[in-house]
Structure 1
Amino acid sequence: MKKVRISGATIAEALEKAKQEFGLRDEEFDYVVVEKGSKGFFGIMAKEAVVEVSFKKEFYERRLEQFMVGILRSYGKIKVKVSSAGKRFLVLLEGDDLGRLIGKHGKTLAALQHIAMIYLNRLSDTKLSVVVDAGEYREKRKRNLEQIVLQAIDRARVEKKRIVLDPMFAFERRLVHEIVKKYRDVKSYSVGVEPYRKVVIEYSPNGKEVHTT
Protein backbone atom coordinates (compact mmCIF):
# COMPACT_ATOMS: atom_id res chain seq x y z
CA MET A 1 0.00 0.00 0.00
CA LYS A 2 2.86 2.33 0.83
CA LYS A 3 6.62 1.89 0.71
CA VAL A 4 9.28 4.37 1.76
CA ARG A 5 13.06 4.30 1.86
CA ILE A 6 14.71 5.60 4.99
CA SER A 7 18.40 5.97 5.69
CA GLY A 8 20.37 6.19 8.92
CA ALA A 9 23.78 5.56 10.40
CA THR A 10 22.63 2.00 11.17
CA ILE A 11 19.67 -0.19 10.21
CA ALA A 12 18.23 0.25 13.70
CA GLU A 13 18.48 4.04 13.41
CA ALA A 14 16.80 4.02 9.99
CA LEU A 15 13.92 1.95 11.33
CA GLU A 16 13.52 4.22 14.32
CA LYS A 17 13.40 7.23 12.01
CA ALA A 18 10.62 5.56 10.00
CA LYS A 19 8.64 4.83 13.15
CA GLN A 20 8.96 8.40 14.39
CA GLU A 21 8.23 10.05 11.05
CA PHE A 22 5.13 8.03 10.19
CA GLY A 23 3.88 7.05 13.62
CA LEU A 24 4.43 3.34 12.97
CA ARG A 25 4.30 0.61 15.57
CA ASP A 26 6.54 -2.45 15.39
CA GLU A 27 3.72 -4.74 14.24
CA GLU A 28 2.55 -2.31 11.55
CA PHE A 29 5.37 -2.61 9.03
CA ASP A 30 7.79 -4.93 7.29
CA TYR A 31 11.16 -3.94 5.91
CA VAL A 32 13.97 -5.09 3.69
CA VAL A 33 17.57 -3.91 3.88
CA VAL A 34 18.61 -2.05 0.74
CA GLU A 35 22.04 -1.05 2.02
CA LYS A 36 23.63 -2.40 5.19
CA GLY A 37 25.85 0.63 5.56
CA SER A 38 29.44 0.74 6.70
CA LYS A 39 31.60 2.86 8.98
CA GLY A 40 34.36 3.16 6.42
CA PHE A 41 37.96 3.63 7.41
CA PHE A 42 38.23 6.25 10.14
CA GLY A 43 34.98 7.65 8.84
CA ILE A 44 36.20 7.91 5.29
CA MET A 45 33.96 6.35 2.59
CA ALA A 46 31.30 5.60 5.21
CA LYS A 47 27.89 4.58 3.86
CA GLU A 48 24.52 5.05 5.51
CA ALA A 49 22.21 2.10 5.99
CA VAL A 50 19.05 2.17 3.85
CA VAL A 51 15.85 0.24 4.49
CA GLU A 52 12.64 -0.02 2.49
CA VAL A 53 9.67 0.03 4.83
CA SER A 54 6.32 -1.44 3.75
CA PHE A 55 3.22 -0.35 5.66
CA LYS A 56 0.90 -3.19 6.73
CA LYS A 57 -2.89 -3.19 6.96
CA GLU A 58 -2.71 -2.90 10.75
CA PHE A 59 -1.34 0.63 10.37
CA TYR A 60 -4.25 1.73 8.19
CA GLU A 61 -6.83 0.02 10.37
CA ARG A 62 -5.53 1.75 13.52
CA ARG A 63 -5.25 5.17 11.93
CA LEU A 64 -8.70 4.92 10.36
CA GLU A 65 -10.23 3.86 13.68
CA GLN A 66 -8.56 6.76 15.49
CA PHE A 67 -9.78 9.16 12.82
CA MET A 68 -13.38 7.95 13.01
CA VAL A 69 -13.42 8.02 16.81
CA GLY A 70 -12.22 11.60 16.68
CA ILE A 71 -14.88 12.92 14.32
CA LEU A 72 -17.68 10.96 16.01
CA ARG A 73 -17.14 12.28 19.54
CA SER A 74 -20.03 14.70 19.23
CA TYR A 75 -22.43 11.84 18.42
CA GLY A 76 -22.14 10.29 21.88
CA LYS A 77 -20.95 6.81 22.72
CA ILE A 78 -20.23 5.26 19.33
CA LYS A 79 -18.16 2.09 19.06
CA VAL A 80 -15.92 1.92 16.01
CA LYS A 81 -14.61 -1.34 14.59
CA VAL A 82 -12.36 -1.42 11.52
CA SER A 83 -11.45 -4.48 9.47
CA SER A 84 -10.00 -4.94 6.00
CA ALA A 85 -9.69 -7.37 3.12
CA GLY A 86 -7.10 -6.41 0.54
CA LYS A 87 -7.59 -2.77 -0.37
CA ARG A 88 -11.14 -2.60 1.01
CA PHE A 89 -11.72 -1.32 4.54
CA LEU A 90 -14.94 -1.75 6.48
CA VAL A 91 -15.91 0.56 9.34
CA LEU A 92 -18.72 -0.73 11.55
CA LEU A 93 -20.40 1.74 13.91
CA GLU A 94 -22.49 0.69 16.89
CA GLY A 95 -24.14 2.66 19.66
CA ASP A 96 -27.23 4.63 20.65
CA ASP A 97 -29.18 6.96 18.37
CA LEU A 98 -27.72 5.55 15.18
CA GLY A 99 -30.56 7.12 13.22
CA ARG A 100 -29.01 10.56 13.69
CA LEU A 101 -25.67 9.17 12.59
CA ILE A 102 -27.14 7.55 9.49
CA GLY A 103 -29.14 10.62 8.47
CA LYS A 104 -32.03 10.89 6.05
CA HIS A 105 -31.66 8.28 3.29
CA GLY A 106 -28.18 7.52 4.65
CA LYS A 107 -26.77 10.92 3.67
CA THR A 108 -24.78 11.46 6.88
CA LEU A 109 -23.35 7.96 6.64
CA ALA A 110 -22.37 8.57 3.03
CA ALA A 111 -20.64 11.82 3.99
CA LEU A 112 -18.69 10.03 6.73
CA GLN A 113 -17.63 7.38 4.23
CA HIS A 114 -16.46 10.02 1.76
CA ILE A 115 -14.39 11.79 4.42
CA ALA A 116 -12.93 8.49 5.68
CA MET A 117 -11.91 7.49 2.15
CA ILE A 118 -10.16 10.81 1.53
CA TYR A 119 -8.29 10.51 4.84
CA LEU A 120 -7.16 6.91 4.30
CA ASN A 121 -5.97 7.51 0.75
CA ARG A 122 -3.78 10.37 1.93
CA LEU A 123 -1.84 7.75 3.90
CA SER A 124 -1.40 5.36 0.97
CA ASP A 125 0.34 5.26 -2.40
CA THR A 126 -2.39 3.04 -3.85
CA LYS A 127 -6.12 3.63 -3.99
CA LEU A 128 -8.05 2.20 -1.06
CA SER A 129 -11.80 1.91 -0.63
CA VAL A 130 -13.78 2.46 2.56
CA VAL A 131 -17.29 1.33 3.44
CA VAL A 132 -18.93 2.80 6.55
CA ASP A 133 -21.95 1.02 8.01
CA ALA A 134 -24.05 1.65 11.11
CA GLY A 135 -26.42 -0.85 12.65
CA GLU A 136 -26.44 -2.93 9.44
CA TYR A 137 -28.09 -0.03 7.65
CA ARG A 138 -26.55 -0.94 4.29
CA GLU A 139 -27.85 -4.51 4.38
CA LYS A 140 -31.32 -3.29 5.32
CA ARG A 141 -31.15 -0.64 2.61
CA LYS A 142 -30.06 -3.29 0.10
CA ARG A 143 -33.08 -5.46 0.86
CA ASN A 144 -35.43 -2.47 0.65
CA LEU A 145 -33.85 -1.32 -2.60
CA GLU A 146 -34.27 -4.76 -4.16
CA GLN A 147 -38.01 -4.57 -3.50
CA ILE A 148 -38.20 -1.09 -5.03
CA VAL A 149 -36.35 -2.25 -8.16
CA LEU A 150 -38.48 -5.35 -8.63
CA GLN A 151 -41.64 -3.25 -8.39
CA ALA A 152 -40.22 -0.78 -10.92
CA ILE A 153 -39.36 -3.64 -13.31
CA ASP A 154 -42.91 -4.96 -13.08
CA ARG A 155 -44.32 -1.49 -13.81
CA ALA A 156 -41.99 -0.97 -16.76
CA ARG A 157 -43.07 -4.29 -18.25
CA VAL A 158 -46.80 -3.80 -17.72
CA GLU A 159 -46.93 -0.14 -18.74
CA LYS A 160 -44.25 -0.45 -21.45
CA LYS A 161 -42.57 2.74 -20.23
CA ARG A 162 -39.63 4.28 -18.41
CA ILE A 163 -39.61 4.29 -14.60
CA VAL A 164 -37.40 6.94 -13.00
CA LEU A 165 -36.23 6.11 -9.48
CA ASP A 166 -35.35 8.61 -6.76
CA PRO A 167 -31.79 9.98 -6.57
CA MET A 168 -29.31 7.44 -5.17
CA PHE A 169 -25.72 7.11 -4.12
CA ALA A 170 -23.31 5.46 -6.55
CA PHE A 171 -23.18 2.14 -4.66
CA GLU A 172 -26.98 1.98 -4.73
CA ARG A 173 -27.13 2.68 -8.46
CA ARG A 174 -24.63 -0.10 -9.09
CA LEU A 175 -26.86 -2.48 -7.15
CA VAL A 176 -29.88 -1.46 -9.25
CA HIS A 177 -27.98 -2.12 -12.48
CA GLU A 178 -26.88 -5.54 -11.24
CA ILE A 179 -30.48 -6.51 -10.48
CA VAL A 180 -31.78 -5.25 -13.84
CA LYS A 181 -29.11 -7.24 -15.72
CA LYS A 182 -30.94 -10.41 -14.74
CA TYR A 183 -33.96 -9.49 -16.87
CA ARG A 184 -33.78 -9.60 -20.68
CA ASP A 185 -36.68 -7.27 -21.48
CA VAL A 186 -35.67 -4.27 -19.35
CA LYS A 187 -32.62 -2.03 -19.28
CA SER A 188 -31.26 0.55 -16.86
CA TYR A 189 -29.09 3.64 -17.11
CA SER A 190 -28.26 6.65 -14.98
CA VAL A 191 -29.16 10.27 -15.68
CA GLY A 192 -28.43 13.60 -14.01
CA VAL A 193 -25.51 14.86 -11.97
CA GLU A 194 -24.47 14.22 -8.39
CA PRO A 195 -25.99 14.38 -5.85
CA TYR A 196 -29.25 14.11 -7.83
CA ARG A 197 -28.21 11.32 -10.20
CA LYS A 198 -31.02 8.81 -10.78
CA VAL A 199 -31.51 5.40 -12.34
CA VAL A 200 -33.99 4.89 -15.16
CA ILE A 201 -35.51 1.43 -15.67
CA GLU A 202 -37.03 1.05 -19.11
CA TYR A 203 -38.96 -1.64 -20.96
CA SER A 204 -36.66 -2.84 -23.75
CA PRO A 205 -37.85 -5.91 -25.68
CA ASN A 206 -35.19 -5.39 -28.37
CA GLY A 207 -32.12 -5.62 -26.20
CA LYS A 208 -30.04 -4.15 -23.45
CA GLU A 209 -28.23 -0.87 -23.00
CA VAL A 210 -24.83 -0.35 -21.47
CA HIS A 211 -25.17 0.15 -17.71
CA THR A 212 -23.51 3.12 -16.09
CA THR A 213 -23.42 4.36 -12.52
Structure 2
Amino acid sequence: MSTFTAKTVDDAIEQGLSKLNLKKNNAQINIVQKSRKGFFGIGRKNAIVEIDEITQNKPVDNKTEDKPKENKIVKRPKNRKDINEEALKDLVSYLEPIVKELGIQAELEPKLVNRKFAEINFVTNQEGILIGKHGLTINALQDLSQIYLNHLGFSRLSIQLDTADYRHRRVETLKKLAEKTAREAVASGQPVYLDPMPSFERKVIHSELENSPHVETISSGREPYRSVVIEPQII
Protein backbone atom coordinates (compact mmCIF):
# COMPACT_ATOMS: atom_id res chain seq x y z
CA MET A 1 0.00 0.00 0.00
CA SER A 2 1.05 3.59 -0.62
CA THR A 3 1.02 5.99 2.32
CA PHE A 4 -0.20 9.60 2.17
CA THR A 5 -0.16 12.37 4.78
CA ALA A 6 -2.21 15.57 4.97
CA LYS A 7 -3.89 17.88 7.46
CA THR A 8 -7.17 15.93 7.33
CA VAL A 9 -8.21 12.40 6.40
CA ASP A 10 -10.23 13.67 3.42
CA ASP A 11 -7.25 15.65 2.12
CA ALA A 12 -4.95 12.65 2.46
CA ILE A 13 -7.42 10.41 0.61
CA GLU A 14 -7.93 12.95 -2.16
CA GLN A 15 -4.16 13.38 -2.52
CA GLY A 16 -3.60 9.61 -2.69
CA LEU A 17 -6.35 8.93 -5.21
CA SER A 18 -5.03 11.70 -7.44
CA LYS A 19 -1.44 10.43 -7.37
CA LEU A 20 -2.49 6.82 -7.95
CA ASN A 21 -5.02 7.86 -10.61
CA LEU A 22 -7.76 5.89 -8.90
CA LYS A 23 -11.42 6.36 -8.15
CA LYS A 24 -12.61 5.90 -4.59
CA ASN A 25 -14.73 2.84 -5.43
CA ASN A 26 -11.67 1.15 -6.98
CA ALA A 27 -9.40 1.79 -3.99
CA GLN A 28 -8.79 0.06 -0.71
CA ILE A 29 -8.35 2.79 1.93
CA ASN A 30 -6.97 2.26 5.41
CA ILE A 31 -6.93 5.16 7.90
CA VAL A 32 -3.69 4.78 9.89
CA GLN A 33 -3.99 7.97 11.95
CA LYS A 34 -6.64 10.66 12.24
CA SER A 35 -5.56 14.29 12.40
CA ARG A 36 -5.42 16.14 15.70
CA LYS A 37 -5.26 19.89 16.22
CA GLY A 38 -3.17 19.65 19.38
CA PHE A 39 -3.28 21.95 22.37
CA PHE A 40 -1.78 25.44 22.10
CA GLY A 41 -0.07 24.20 18.94
CA ILE A 42 1.64 21.30 20.72
CA GLY A 43 0.80 17.70 19.93
CA ARG A 44 -0.59 18.46 16.48
CA LYS A 45 -0.78 15.38 14.23
CA ASN A 46 -1.49 15.06 10.51
CA ALA A 47 -3.78 12.40 9.11
CA ILE A 48 -2.13 9.31 7.59
CA VAL A 49 -3.87 6.93 5.17
CA GLU A 50 -2.83 3.91 3.17
CA ILE A 51 -4.29 3.38 -0.32
CA ASP A 52 -4.04 0.45 -2.70
CA GLU A 53 -5.83 -0.51 -5.89
CA ILE A 54 -8.51 -3.16 -5.62
CA THR A 55 -7.60 -6.01 -7.96
CA GLN A 56 -10.48 -7.65 -9.78
CA ASN A 57 -10.27 -11.45 -9.38
CA LYS A 58 -11.96 -13.84 -11.77
CA PRO A 59 -15.10 -15.45 -10.36
CA VAL A 60 -14.60 -18.92 -8.98
CA ASP A 61 -16.85 -21.78 -10.09
CA ASN A 62 -18.57 -22.85 -6.89
CA LYS A 63 -19.25 -26.32 -8.41
CA THR A 64 -15.59 -27.17 -8.81
CA GLU A 65 -13.97 -25.18 -6.00
CA ASP A 66 -15.24 -24.23 -2.60
CA LYS A 67 -14.59 -20.76 -1.35
CA PRO A 68 -12.08 -20.70 1.51
CA LYS A 69 -13.47 -19.59 4.82
CA GLU A 70 -12.36 -16.15 5.88
CA ASN A 71 -10.67 -15.85 9.24
CA LYS A 72 -12.16 -12.73 10.69
CA ILE A 73 -10.16 -10.92 13.34
CA VAL A 74 -12.46 -9.55 15.99
CA LYS A 75 -11.03 -6.52 17.72
CA ARG A 76 -11.77 -6.37 21.40
CA PRO A 77 -13.06 -3.01 22.62
CA LYS A 78 -10.54 -1.04 24.66
CA ASN A 79 -11.21 -0.97 28.37
CA ARG A 80 -10.93 2.10 30.59
CA LYS A 81 -7.37 1.20 31.66
CA ASP A 82 -6.16 1.05 28.05
CA ILE A 83 -7.87 4.34 27.22
CA ASN A 84 -6.38 6.08 30.27
CA GLU A 85 -2.92 4.75 29.44
CA GLU A 86 -3.21 6.19 25.91
CA ALA A 87 -4.23 9.55 27.36
CA LEU A 88 -1.24 9.40 29.71
CA LYS A 89 1.11 8.73 26.78
CA ASP A 90 -0.38 11.70 24.93
CA LEU A 91 0.22 13.85 28.01
CA VAL A 92 3.88 12.76 28.17
CA SER A 93 4.30 13.70 24.50
CA TYR A 94 2.72 17.07 25.28
CA LEU A 95 4.95 17.78 28.30
CA GLU A 96 8.30 16.71 26.84
CA PRO A 97 8.81 19.72 24.51
CA ILE A 98 7.58 22.11 27.24
CA VAL A 99 10.16 20.80 29.71
CA LYS A 100 12.89 21.12 27.06
CA GLU A 101 11.85 24.72 26.44
CA LEU A 102 12.45 25.34 30.16
CA GLY A 103 16.03 24.14 29.65
CA ILE A 104 15.49 20.97 31.68
CA GLN A 105 16.79 17.57 30.64
CA ALA A 106 14.44 15.00 32.15
CA GLU A 107 13.06 11.53 31.57
CA LEU A 108 9.33 11.23 32.16
CA GLU A 109 8.05 8.07 33.85
CA PRO A 110 4.22 7.80 33.65
CA LYS A 111 2.26 5.48 35.94
CA LEU A 112 -1.47 4.78 35.98
CA VAL A 113 -2.24 4.19 39.67
CA ASN A 114 -5.95 3.46 39.22
CA ARG A 115 -8.90 4.47 37.02
CA LYS A 116 -9.00 7.97 38.50
CA PHE A 117 -5.39 8.81 39.35
CA ALA A 118 -2.09 8.87 37.46
CA GLU A 119 1.44 10.05 38.18
CA ILE A 120 4.36 11.27 36.11
CA ASN A 121 7.78 11.22 37.76
CA PHE A 122 10.56 13.37 36.31
CA VAL A 123 14.03 11.83 36.53
CA THR A 124 16.45 14.74 36.27
CA ASN A 125 19.53 16.33 37.83
CA GLN A 126 17.78 19.72 37.66
CA GLU A 127 15.12 19.13 40.32
CA GLY A 128 15.45 22.64 41.73
CA ILE A 129 14.64 24.31 38.41
CA LEU A 130 11.79 21.90 37.72
CA ILE A 131 10.24 22.39 41.17
CA GLY A 132 10.72 26.17 41.33
CA LYS A 133 10.29 28.39 44.39
CA HIS A 134 7.74 26.79 46.74
CA GLY A 135 6.83 24.35 43.94
CA LEU A 136 5.66 27.12 41.61
CA THR A 137 7.00 25.55 38.39
CA ILE A 138 5.99 21.94 38.97
CA ASN A 139 2.56 23.03 40.23
CA ALA A 140 2.05 25.15 37.10
CA LEU A 141 3.02 22.16 34.94
CA GLN A 142 0.59 20.00 36.92
CA ASP A 143 -2.24 22.48 36.39
CA LEU A 144 -1.41 22.61 32.68
CA SER A 145 -1.39 18.79 32.55
CA GLN A 146 -4.84 18.60 34.14
CA ILE A 147 -6.16 21.18 31.66
CA TYR A 148 -4.71 19.10 28.81
CA LEU A 149 -6.40 15.92 30.07
CA ASN A 150 -9.68 17.82 30.41
CA HIS A 151 -9.19 19.02 26.82
CA LEU A 152 -8.89 15.38 25.71
CA GLY A 153 -12.07 14.48 27.61
CA PHE A 154 -10.40 12.91 30.67
CA SER A 155 -11.63 15.29 33.36
CA ARG A 156 -12.13 12.40 35.80
CA LEU A 157 -8.49 11.35 35.58
CA SER A 158 -6.40 13.32 38.10
CA ILE A 159 -2.69 13.77 37.47
CA GLN A 160 0.21 14.41 39.85
CA LEU A 161 3.70 15.44 38.76
CA ASP A 162 6.65 14.65 40.99
CA THR A 163 10.44 14.62 41.06
CA ALA A 164 12.96 13.50 43.68
CA ASP A 165 10.11 12.62 46.09
CA TYR A 166 9.18 16.33 46.28
CA ARG A 167 5.47 15.71 46.93
CA HIS A 168 6.14 13.60 50.04
CA ARG A 169 8.67 16.10 51.38
CA ARG A 170 6.25 18.96 50.71
CA VAL A 171 3.44 17.23 52.64
CA GLU A 172 5.71 16.80 55.66
CA THR A 173 6.71 20.49 55.44
CA LEU A 174 3.05 21.57 55.25
CA LYS A 175 2.14 19.48 58.31
CA LYS A 176 4.88 21.15 60.35
CA LEU A 177 3.76 24.55 59.04
CA ALA A 178 0.18 23.80 60.13
CA GLU A 179 1.22 22.93 63.69
CA LYS A 180 3.54 25.93 63.98
CA THR A 181 0.93 28.37 62.66
CA ALA A 182 -1.74 26.92 64.94
CA ARG A 183 0.45 27.67 67.96
CA GLU A 184 0.97 31.23 66.70
CA ALA A 185 -2.78 31.76 66.29
CA VAL A 186 -3.51 30.49 69.83
CA ALA A 187 -0.70 32.56 71.35
CA SER A 188 -1.73 35.79 69.60
CA GLY A 189 -5.48 35.25 69.71
CA GLN A 190 -5.58 36.46 66.09
CA PRO A 191 -6.14 34.64 62.77
CA VAL A 192 -3.01 33.83 60.78
CA TYR A 193 -3.05 33.94 56.97
CA LEU A 194 -0.78 31.53 55.11
CA ASP A 195 0.67 32.22 51.67
CA PRO A 196 -1.55 31.27 48.70
CA MET A 197 -1.22 27.63 47.69
CA PRO A 198 -2.97 25.15 45.37
CA SER A 199 -6.03 23.28 46.59
CA PHE A 200 -4.25 19.94 47.12
CA GLU A 201 -1.78 21.68 49.48
CA ARG A 202 -4.53 23.52 51.33
CA LYS A 203 -6.20 20.16 51.96
CA VAL A 204 -3.08 19.01 53.83
CA ILE A 205 -3.36 22.00 56.21
CA HIS A 206 -7.10 21.48 56.72
CA SER A 207 -6.67 17.74 57.36
CA GLU A 208 -3.81 18.25 59.81
CA LEU A 209 -5.82 20.65 61.99
CA GLU A 210 -9.39 19.40 61.51
CA ASN A 211 -9.46 17.67 64.93
CA SER A 212 -7.70 20.44 66.83
CA PRO A 213 -9.72 21.74 69.82
CA HIS A 214 -7.81 25.03 69.73
CA VAL A 215 -8.05 26.29 66.12
CA GLU A 216 -10.18 26.06 63.04
CA THR A 217 -9.25 26.56 59.38
CA ILE A 218 -10.96 28.17 56.43
CA SER A 219 -9.91 28.99 52.87
CA SER A 220 -10.02 32.61 51.78
CA GLY A 221 -9.58 34.47 48.48
CA ARG A 222 -9.89 33.51 44.85
CA GLU A 223 -7.77 31.17 42.76
CA PRO A 224 -4.87 31.28 42.18
CA TYR A 225 -4.42 33.44 45.30
CA ARG A 226 -6.60 31.36 47.62
CA SER A 227 -4.98 30.70 51.00
CA VAL A 228 -5.67 29.01 54.33
CA VAL A 229 -6.61 31.07 57.39
CA ILE A 230 -5.98 29.54 60.81
CA GLU A 231 -8.18 31.05 63.54
CA PRO A 232 -8.18 30.41 67.29
CA GLN A 233 -11.33 28.75 68.62
CA ILE A 234 -13.69 31.10 70.41
CA ILE A 235 -14.42 29.67 73.86
TM-score by length of 1: 0.68
User: 1:68 is matched by which residue type in structure 2?
Assistant: L
> Residues 70-149 of structure 1 correspond to what in structure 2 (within 5 A)?
70-74=97-101, 75-84=103-112, 85-124=114-153, 126-149=155-178
Compute the RMSD of aligned alpha carbons: 2.7
Bigger relative contact order (CA 8 A; separation at least 6) = 1
1:20 and 1:76, CA in 2 relative to 1: closer, same or farther beyond 3 A?
A: same
Matched, 1:190 2:225: no
Give the Cα separation in 2 of the matches to 1:193 and 1:132.
23
- How far off its partner does 1:135 sit? 1.6
Partners of 2:196 and 2:225 within 8 A in 1: yes
Q: Which has the larger radius of gyration?
A: 2
In structure 2, do the counterparts of structure 1 residues 125 and 155 end up closer, same or farther at CA, with 3 Å as the change threshold? Answer: closer
The separation in 1 between residues aligned to 2:124 and 2:154, in whole angstroms, is 33
User: Is residue 65–residue 82 contact of structure 1 (8 Å, CA) maintained in 2?
Assistant: yes
Runs of 4+ in 1 over 4 A off after TM superposition: 51-55
Partner of residue 86 from structure 2, selected from 36, 59, 62? 59
The residue type paired with residue 172 of structure 1 is: E
Cα distance in 2, alignment partners of residues 22 and 183 from structure 1: 55
Asked if the contact 1:177/1:188 (under 8 Å) is kept, the reply is yes
TM-score, structure 2 normalization: 0.63
In structure 2, relative to structure 1, the CA distance for the partners of 1:137 and 1:53 (3 Å cut) is closer
* Equivalent-residue separation in structure 2 for 1:91 and 1:53 (angstroms): 22
Residue in structure 2 matching 1:173, options 202, 220, 224: 202
8 Å CA contact 2:122–2:162 kept in 1: the answer is: yes
Contact 1:64 1:82 in 2 (8 A): no
SS in 2 for 1:119: helix
**Identity over aligned pairs, percent:** 29
Which digits, 9 at most, give the CA deviation of each residue in 1:14-49, with x for residues without a partner? xx75x63389xxxxxxxxxxxxxxxxxxxxxxxxxx
Residue 34 of structure 2, aligned match among 21, 24, 35: 21
Q: Could you tell me how far apart the structure 2 residues matched to 1:166 and 1:112 are?
A: 20
**CA shift for structure 1 position 185:** 2.5
**Alpha-carbon shift at residue 165 of structure 1 (Å):** 1.3
- Structure 1 residue ranges without an equivalent (≥5): 1-12, 24-50, 207-213
Alignment check: 8 A CA contact 1:89 1:129 kept: yes
Q: Which runs of 5+ in 2 are unaligned?
A: 1-27, 37-75
Matches within 5 A, 1:31-42: none
Question: What do the CA deviations read for 1:155-177 (whole angstroms, capped 9, x no partner)?
Answer: 22233221211221211111111
